Amino acid sequence: MAESTAQQVMEIRAGLSHALGAAAIALDRARGAHAAAVERRRRVEAAAEARLRKIDSARDNRLAEIDEQHRTDLAAYAGAAAAAADRAAPGAAGDPWDDWQATPLDRAAELRVGRLLLPHPEEVPALVPLLDRGHVVVRGDRTLGDEVVAGLLLRALGTAAPGRVQLIGYDPEHLGGGLARFAPLAPAGVLTFVGPGGLPALLDDLTAHVRRINETVLAGEYTSLRELNAATHRRPEPWRVAVLLGAGELSRPEQAQLQRLLRTGAACGVHLVIQGLPVQAADGIEFITAASGDHARVSSAGALPVRLDGGPPQAVVAATCRRIAEAVEAGPAPVALDSLLPQEEWKQSAATGLSAPLGDSPQGVPVQVTLADYPPHALIAGPSGTGKTNLIYAWMGALAARYSPAELAFYLLDFKEGVSFARFAPGRRDPSWLPHVRLVGLNVNTDREFGLALLRFLGEELRRRADAAKRYEVTNLAELRAEDPEGSWPRIVAVVDEFQVLLSGRDAVAAEAVDLLEDLARRGRSQGIHLILASQDVSGIEALWGRPALVAQFSLRIALPRARRILAETNTAAESLPRYHAVVNADSGALEANKVVRVPAAGDRERWNALQHRLWRKRPPELGPPRLFDGDVVPRLADSPDFRRLAPAEQVAAPMVLLGETIDVAARSARTVLRRAPGRNLAVLGTRMDEACAILATAARSLAAQFPPDGARFSILCLDQDARAAAAALCAELPECGSFDADSADWLLEDVAAEASASFPSDRPHFLVIYAADALPGGKETAEQLRTILRQGPERRLHVLGWWRGAALLRDALGGQASRTDPIGAWVALDVHGSELAPFYPGARAPAWYPRPWRALHFDRSVHRGAEVIIPYGAGS
């Protein structure tokens, strides 16, 4: 049993030791595993750390890359934005104020108001679209807003040609004070102010512009002026910018009008700049919120903060406005005459009328002006200097280039002092003339009789045409030309500049002129006789307005800037016309018939001459120069066609005495015939010695020209010391002339009186020329001898050509108040009033005559119904 216990102990011990051993092994193993696990963990941790570091660095790198990219992009975007802004707002649209000046652009630009505040140093301007794009509403701080508005307006003005941007200011609170700095524009009409109650009218007016532009300018062809401009490079309408400042509450109709304009205005160049008025956001409206610092906003820039520019310096505004106003007042650059000329000259037929362009309309379309059966005649009015003469030149040029002289003839009369029509006649420097011109009357302001003569001449032509029409049984020129194709029936255009001179006064000339005009105007239309009457001020012509039927014939009206009363009463289009423009109205001035035309410069001598020379060289050979009547020129006897025709003849039954030039369409000489008949003496009356001597010399020279050297006798008796030289010069020129003075007067008169009383007429005429016949010495005896000569001489071919220095002195010479005046059959009066001539004039009334220098009144009782005005031929001619 012990053994077994020991054994058992041993066994237990062995078992325990075995277990111990196993446990130790297990412990070792566990320790090994732990160490390995710790090691693994360390490694994992190290790896994780390394990865993290790598990731961090990768992230940092990436972030750095992204930052760099961002910076590069931002710089690129800012640069691009700045460049785009430069393009959108070049020159005056975007330049800073310290370096600003007006730079008209060829298209509308966006306008700078400040700069965008970007996280980038590149300066990017904040722009707002206005002209051709939309409207601008400024809100926020009022004072800063005022500067924004001023800046916008100045930039808009500076980007367009002067006058192309027009401002209309409505500022009821400050009565225009908000726009005061732009006031220099007002006199030129570039800025207009609307009074406090004027908003409805302003909105209506702008709406009317929009409607008109849509209907007549865009006319369904373009959707906006911007599109029209892009397609045609023309800009027929200005931009109208209405500036509404603090308008307060609007009525419903005003609201509605405003909304309409906001919707439709921009396409028609009508833009609103609004401050202090609530406006709903809508397309095409830019809102600027004025605030200081970084708080300003511009709606198109979204939430980007904006820093607004300060307002433009006052000096810049003032200088710019002044320059614009000056440029507008100076008017647009002139258009050339060539724009009126046709491709081919002298190709048009005037059978049914005369049609030619007078210039371009504001839309750039030529405006045709027609003279025909309707409208037959034209009235042109324009205050001095507005271009009336130029317009006549332009019209004549356009007509003359289209119609040959066989189709068109001009008769031109200028009552103005000056030589405006002289260019159409041959001159000393330029021998050419406009071949269509048949008559030029210059400086006729004191010779209104010349106007009458032209009207009478046209009246004659009218009768000739009417007779021909009757013969061919036709009623107008077109039909007459068709029936008589070989006939010469040009349309006649008579232009009378400053025609009011002809019609002024209530004298016989004016009365006859109006009657003739009325007849011509009424009947001339169908016979191709057209009248163009031009005047500075048609309203002053009483004679016209008293004759509505006459005025009605002048249905073509042409009004130059500020012309009054030529258009219909309510038609004020001429008041706002720019320089070198005219309103042409073919319907007696009715508003709807207005056509505005820009007239080319036709005054330019060089261009005019080029046309005239070209046409002159083409003239038909038979066409001579026009008759030139110049009231300032003393005519020469040697140039008188009547004098040139005189030639010596053996038998001269009725010697002709020329006295001076008549004031007539043809250059005729006034004449008196010294037949063998009682009363065939001539008296020159008045104190003006030079003219009296000139008339006596003309008379004697023209007589002498009809006789062979010994065919007639001349005796010259000079009783005025001062006239001696003239008398002697005349005597020296005459073939058989005896010269006498106060000392020899008595025996000359005795001799001649005996001759006058002889029973047989002399075999040749004897002309007794007496200078200052009222100074006859020798008392009653010689006076009686002179009376004998005057009474009995003519039947014996003895005629007196005497100069008495007054009508009463001639009366005395004839025997006093009670004596008969018939020994003086013809007289020429100088400075003698009409009333003094009554005794020598038939009928109860004296002739209407107011003496004027180098003009005389001639009357020959054997042929005249009334006296005629003549111009003495110059001494020594």
Ligand X SMILES: Nc1ncnc2c1ncn2[C@@H]1O[C@H](COP(=O)(O)OP(=O)(O)OP(=O)(O)O)[C@@H](O)[C@H]1O
Q: Is 756 exposed, middle or buried (0-12, 13-18, 19+ CB in 10 A)?
A: buried
Q: How far is the CB of 568 from ligand X (least distance, A)?
A: 22
Nearer to ligand X, 348 or 390 (CB): 390
Q: Is 389 assigned a ligand-binding role in the annotation?
A: yes
For residue 208, give the nearest of 250, 240, 185, 244 by alpha carbon.
240
Shortest distance in whole angstroms from residue 870 CB to ligand X: 29
What's the min distance (Å) between Cβ of 100 and ligand X?
32
DSSP 744-763: THHHHHHHHHHHHH-SS--S
Compare residues 502 and 745 and give the one whose CB is closer to ligand X: 502
CA distance 795 to 680: 8
Question: Shortest gap between Cβ of 573 and ligand X (angstroms)?
Answer: 17
Sequence-separated (6 or more) residues with CB below 8 Å from residue 863:
673
Q: Which CB sits closer to ligand X, 601 or 673?
A: 601
Q: Is 119 exposed, middle or buried (0-12, 13-18, 19+ CB in 10 A)?
A: exposed
Query: Cα separation of 729 and 876, whole Å?
Result: 9
Sheet holding 306-308, edge to edge: 124-129, 110-116, 306-308
The CB-of-588 to ligand X minimum distance in angstroms stands at 22
End-to-end distance of the chain based on CA atoms, in angstroms?
200
Is there a binding annotation on residue 487?
no
The answer to the question of whether 451 is labelled as a binding residue is no
Q: Are the C-beta atoms of 147 and 311 separated by less than 8 Å?
A: yes
- Output DSSP code: residue 222: -
With CA atoms as reference, report the closest residue to 698 among 741, 650, 734.
734
Is residue 709 helix, strand or coil?
coil
Closest approach of Cβ 714 to ligand X, in Å?
A: 49
The CA dihedral of 722, 725, 730, 734, to the nearest 10 degrees, is 130
Among 456, 455, 423, which residue's Cα sits nearest to residue 442?
423
Backbone φ and ψ for 183, nearest 5 degrees, come out as -55, -35
Single-letter residue type at 613 = H
Please indicate if the annotation marks 851 as binding a ligand.
no
CB of 537 to ligand X, least distance (A): 10
Q: What is the closest distance, in whole angstroms, from the C-beta atom of residue 379 to ligand X in the complex?
A: 14
Are 203 and 277 spatial neighbours (Cβ–Cβ below 8 Å)? no
Of 574 and 599, which has the nearer Cβ to ligand X? 599
Residue 601 is classified by DSSP as: B
Closer of 389 and 702 to ligand X (Cβ): 389
Closer to ligand X by CB, 358 or 737: give it: 358
Nearer to ligand X, 366 or 834 (CB): 366
Q: How far is the CB of 419 from ligand X (least distance, A)?
A: 11
**Do the beta carbons of residue 326 and residue 156 sit within 8 Å?**
no
Minimal distance in Å, beta carbon 423 to ligand X? 12
Name the site residues for ligand X (rule: CB under 6 A): 334, 382, 384-390, 536, 580, 599-601, 603
DSSP reduced 3-state for 829? strand
Q: How far is the CB of 383 from ligand X (least distance, A)?
A: 7
64-100 burial, b at 16+ Cβ within 10 Å, e below that, comes to eeeeeeeeeeeeeebeebbeebeebbebbbbbebeeb
Least separation in angstroms between residue 630's CB and ligand X is 17
What would the DSSP string read from start to end of 298-346? EGGGTT--EEEPPPPPHHHHHHHHHHHHHHHHH-SPPPBGGGG--SSTT
Q: What is the DSSP letter of 218?
A: I
Q: How far is the CB of 335 from ligand X (least distance, A)?
A: 7
- In 117-247, which ranges are E strands? 124-129, 135-140, 165-170, 191-194, 239-245
582 vs 665 by CB, closer to ligand X:
582
Is 364 assigned a ligand-binding role in the annotation?
no
Task: For ligand X, give the closer residue by CB, 351 or 601.
Answer: 601
User: Which residue's beta carbon is nearest to the bound ligand X?
Assistant: 387
Instruction: Tell me whether residue 536 or residue 555 sits nearer to ligand X (CB atom).
Output: 536
* Nearer of residues 101 and 384 to ligand X, judged by Cβ: 384
Among candidate residues 206, 235, 102, the one with its CA nearest the CA of residue 156? 102
Numbers of helices and strands, H then E, in the chain: 20, 31
CB of 120 to ligand X, least distance (A): 54
Separation CA 508–CA 513 (nearest Å): 8
Q: Quick one: which of 797, 788, 704 has its CA closest to 696?
A: 704
Q: Which is nearer to ligand X, 450 or 608 (CB)?
A: 608
Q: How far is the CB of 465 from ligand X (least distance, A)?
A: 31
Q: Is 384 assigned a ligand-binding role in the annotation?
A: yes
Residue 170 main-chain phi, psi, to 5 deg: -125, 110
| Residue 388 assigned as binding residue | yes
Parallel, antiparallel, or unpaired: how do β-strands 110-116 and 124-129 relate? antiparallel
Q: Is 458 exposed, middle or buried (0-12, 13-18, 19+ CB in 10 A)?
A: buried
CA gap 750, 188 in Å, rounded: 82
Nearer to ligand X, 390 or 662 (CB): 390
Instruction: Identify which of residues 382 and 874 has a Cβ nearer to ligand X in the complex.
Output: 382
Give, as one character, the DSSP assignment of residue 367.
Answer: E
Task: Please say which residue, 268 or 599, places its beta carbon nearer to ligand X.
Answer: 599
Cβ-contact 746, 800 below 8 angstroms: no
Q: Which of 219, 209, 198, 201 is nearest to 264 (CA)?
A: 209
Nearest to 812 by CA among 786, 794, 789: 786
Residues annotated within a binding site for ATP: 382-389
Residues annotated within a binding site: 382-389
